[in-house]
């Protein structure tokens, strides 16, 4: 690290859990973020400010006026611009040293198979059930840690999936890919603005813990936040021996 970096990241370096070595691991890391909405915005901002060396962000959408209630990286002046470009501008305003690669497209299986093996960790910041399963399957295939986040109404969810661990549950172990249910989206159901910030920030925190190598990742459990009472509940998740995603990637 140079003198500017030692100053910029001094509050991390002062932490025994991170120090010089942990910050250097963060600087050398590459995080793949899928989704530049309510979860992806705070996650990308904190990853960039913390010094993640490279961030790849995938999102097909453009900034809309309705996004501004909760998607804190976007501004009124950037309505109509690609979300990936808006987040790049916001991250570089904080930390211009971050290598930021934005892809304005949907996350397909082919794209994920290209990007996931390059990443230190993947953050799923999407709101689409099918896309979540595509991301989970790609991370299981390539043995790349995945931080799942979700938020709707006043409820949030967080789950750390680490396919490098033996018998670790994946997303499909808990939520079967062929499950039939009605997709709920904030455009029709609403979402409490701070809940996406809470979950997105925690996704960034779990990613940085994995990268720097400290603490205890919350893998193997589904964490749920009720913003009405600000209470967390946890469900211990176990590997499903009949999980089709895990079976296909033995």
Domains, the chain, with CATH or none: 3-247 (3.40.50.720)
Residue 180 has what pLDDT? 63
Q: What angle do CA 105, 161, 198 make, to 5 degrees?
A: 70
232 Cβ contact partners less than 8 Å away, ≥ 6 residues apart: 223, 224, 225, 226
Question: What is the per-residue pLDDT for 249?
Answer: 78
The structure's pTM equals: 0.95
Output the furthest CA–CA distance in the chain (Å, rounded): 55
Instruction: Give the pLDDT of residue 74.
Output: 98
Short-list 215, 203, 194, 120, CA closest to 157: 203
How much is the pLDDT for 107? Answer: 97
pLDDT along the chain (250 residues), means of 10: 95 97 98 98 98 98 97 98 98 98 97 98 95 96 97 96 91 86 66 97 97 88 96 92 86
| Angle, alpha carbons 7-8-11 (nearest 5°) | 85
Q: Is the dihedral of CA 111, 112, 113, 116 positive or negative?
A: positive
Element containing residue 33 per DSSP (H, E): strand 30-34
Around 125, how many Cα atoms within 13 Å sit in the side-chain half-sphere? 33
Query: Of the residues 125, 139, 173, 186, which is catalytic?
Result: 186
Return the SS3 of 56. strand
Give which of 236, 129, 124 is closest to 172, Cα–Cα.
129
pLDDT of residue 211: 97
Q: Closest Cα partner for 60 from 111, 125, 104, 126?
A: 104
Q: What is the pLDDT, as a whole number, of residue 181?
A: 57
Q: Is 186 a catalytic residue?
A: yes
Give pLDDT, residue 10. 97
């Amino acid at each position: 690290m140079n003198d500017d970096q030692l100053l910029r990241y001094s509050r991390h370096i002062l932490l025994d859990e991170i120090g010089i070595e942990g910050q250097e691991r963060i600087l050398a890391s590459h995080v793949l973020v899928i989704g530049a909405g309510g979860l992806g915005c705070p996650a990308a901002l904190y990853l960039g400010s913390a010094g993640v060396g490279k961030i790849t962000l995938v999102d097909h959408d453009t900034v809309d006026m309705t996004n501004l209630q909760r998607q804190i990286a976007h501004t009124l002046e950037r309505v109509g611009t690609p979300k990936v470009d808006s987040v790049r501008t916001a991250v570089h305003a904080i930390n211009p040293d971050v290598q930021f690669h934005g892809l304005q497209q949907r996350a397909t299986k082919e794209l994920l198979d290209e990007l996931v093996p390059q990443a230190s960790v993947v953050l799923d910041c999407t709101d689409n059930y099918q896309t979540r399963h595509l991301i989970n399957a790609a991370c299981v295939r390539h043995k790349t840690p995945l931080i799942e986040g979700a938020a709707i109404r006043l409820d949030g969810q967080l789950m750390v999936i680490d396919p490098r661990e033996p018998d670790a549950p994946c997303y499909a172990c808990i939520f079967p890919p062929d499950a039939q249910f009605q997709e709920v989206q904030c455009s029709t159901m609403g979402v409490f603005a701070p809940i996406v910030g809470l979950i997105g920030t925690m996704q960034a925190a779990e990613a940085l813990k994995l990268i720097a190598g400290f603490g205890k990742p919350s893998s193997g459990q589904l964490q749920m936040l009720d913003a009405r009472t600000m209470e967390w509940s946890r469900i211990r998740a176990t590997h499903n021996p009949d999980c089709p995603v895990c079976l296909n990637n033995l």
